[in-house]
Structures are given as structure tokens and as C-alpha cells.
Structure 1
Amino acid sequence: MSNREDYQLPPKEGFVLTHFLTVADVNRSAEFYVRILGGTVVRSGEPTLIQIANSWLIVNVGGGPTDDKPSVTLRPPVNPNEVSSFLNIRVADIRACYEQWRSRGAEFLTEPKDHGREIRCYMRDPDNYLIEVGQTTDFRA
């Protein structure tokens, strides 16, 4: 199994997958991911780079088109009830994570719910991005 130190930016070979979130306030979002999920800010400013477990998250303010994306505007979610993607965190013990993250200030939509092959619940970050927290209980294909 790999550990946190095995993942580096920039990568020495191959590639590292990061997820970019357009946020209203970079410092507020970074603080959330550090406080709730135990992330480490690797680079501050705009953008801010955060390492969380074996993943990387980039948070930055939105903006209009640029020369390499001439018809694209970045902005945080407008309607928190309409989602096209979300972070998915798989955990070993969902009840322990739910209690720990809730004690740190995370606001969950519901408590963990058992769906047979997994137990899951959802929380939101400060910009209303949806984050699924799930524990697989049956990993058969």
C-alpha cells in the first residue's frame, strides 16, 4: 500500500491526479479541507494546493475565459441541489469518520445510511460542493 509520501507534485514520473474546485474564498475553502479532512496546504495563494491522504485538491477563485480555454468561465456551484460531479471519499470506518468530522464542524445532509453493499452519507464544503463519504461493505464485482 502506498502512503502519503509516495504521491508528489510535480510527479517524478507518470502523473498524479488532482481535483480542481472553483471557490468563492480560497482561504475559507482551504481551512475547511485542512480542519475537516486533515489536509496539508502545500502551496498557499491563488491557487492553493492541498494534499489530502493520497490525493491532491486545488482550490482557486473563478474567472472568465483564458487563451487555453477561450469559451469557459469557472464559478462555484450556483444551485446546491443540482450536481454534476462530487468528491467521493472511501473510508475504513464511516461511523468514526462521521463523528470525528462532525465534531470538527462538518455539516452532513443525513447520518450514515446502510445501502447493502455500502454505508454512505454526504456533507457539503463552504461552496456547497457535495462530498460523499462511504464505506464499502461488500466488494464483490
Structure 2
Amino acid sequence: MDSGQEQFPAPSEGIVLTHFITSRDVARSAAFYRDVLGGQVVFEGEPTAVKLANSWIIINVGGGPTDDKPDVILEPPRDPHRTSSFLNIRVADIHAAYEEWRRRGAEFLTPPKQHADEIRCYMRDPDGYLIEVGQLTEMPA
């Protein structure tokens, strides 16, 4: 990507992966991804794009069907105890990330927990989206 494309998720070749979230309050969600997780707001409004490390989070309000998704309604999660997907953030030092993001206002479900080949914990964004934070401790078999 050229320098301009580093600030906007529009590839000149190949693909760029972004994560789209539907928000009840776009500015509040953008502030979370900027102020808590350290992202950079690339453009504001509806939609808003936040560059987060080597990826982008696109945040917009919900809405009804459109001509290209005629039977789909976009809405934030209704039940924070049920989810079908989540953002997965891999970090080099999970304990440092956990402490820094907690200081900035992140609310984690638990502290980092050791599992077979990783340490991980989960937090939620302001709309209730689940975010996994993990650190690999051993290459999976």
C-alpha cells in the first residue's frame, strides 16, 4: 500500500480485511477503539473507520435491508451472553496489554488465563461486542 492507503482501507491490489460493527453510538464506539485500544480514527461520521494496528474497524449505525442485502437487518448484539463471532487481538505481552487497557477503561470478563498453548482473556466494547485478547505461549500441535 502507498502512504495514503495506509490511512484508508482501500487496497490497490489484493485484499484488505476490515471488521464491521453495528453501533448504538458510533462516536462512543470510535472513542473506545481509539482511546482504550490505541487505534487512530481515519475518518468520522456514519460510517467511521478506525485503524487498529494492522487492521481497520468500520463502525456504523444499524439499519434495515438494502438492495444488496434484501433480507438482512444490522443491529448491535441484543444479548451479551450469546455471540457467533468476535474480534481476536493477538498481543506480544498480554499482561502489559491487560493492565494498560484496564487503566484506559476496558472492562474484562476475567484476568488473563493460561490455556494449553496460549494465555487469553476477554473484554467487551461499548455495544457489547466480545473481544478476545490472546498471547501464544506455544505453537499449537
Alignment TM-score, normalising by the size of structure 2: 0.93
Letter paired with 1:31: A
Alignment pair present for 1:111 and 2:111:
yes
SS of residue in 2 equivalent to 1:35 = helix
**Equivalent-residue separation in structure 1 for 2:94 and 2:13 (angstroms):** 33
Q: Give the 4+ runs in structure 1 shifted more than 3 A.
A: 4-8
**Equivalent-residue separation in structure 1 for 2:44 and 2:140 (angstroms):** 41
Letter paired with 1:106: A
Contact 2:122 2:131 in 1 (8 A): yes
Aligned 1:1-141 pairs, distance under 5 A: 7=6, 8-141=8-141
Output one character per residue of 1:11-36: Cα deviation in whole Å (capped at 9) or x when no partner. 11111010100010000000000011
**Equivalent-residue separation in structure 1 for 2:49 and 2:92 (angstroms):** 25
Output one character per residue of 1:96-133: Cα deviation in whole Å (capped at 9) or x when no partner. 00000000000000000001200000000000000000
**Equivalent-residue separation in structure 1 for 2:136 and 2:16 (angstroms):** 24
SS of residue in 1 equivalent to 2:19 = strand
Contact 2:5 2:11 in 1 (8 A): no
**Equivalent-residue separation in structure 2 for 1:6 and 1:64 (angstroms):** 30
**Equivalent-residue separation in structure 2 for 1:110 and 1:6 (angstroms):** 37
Letter paired with 1:99: E
SS of residue in 1 equivalent to 2:50 = strand
**Equivalent-residue separation in structure 1 for 2:111 and 2:9 (angstroms):** 35
Alignment TM-score, normalising by the size of structure 1: 0.93
Contact 2:9 2:18 in 1 (8 A): no
Letter paired with 2:56: W
Structure 2: state its 5+ residue gaps: none
| Identity in percent | 66
Cα 1:139–1:6 change in 2 (3 A) is farther
Number of residue pairs matched?
Answer: 138
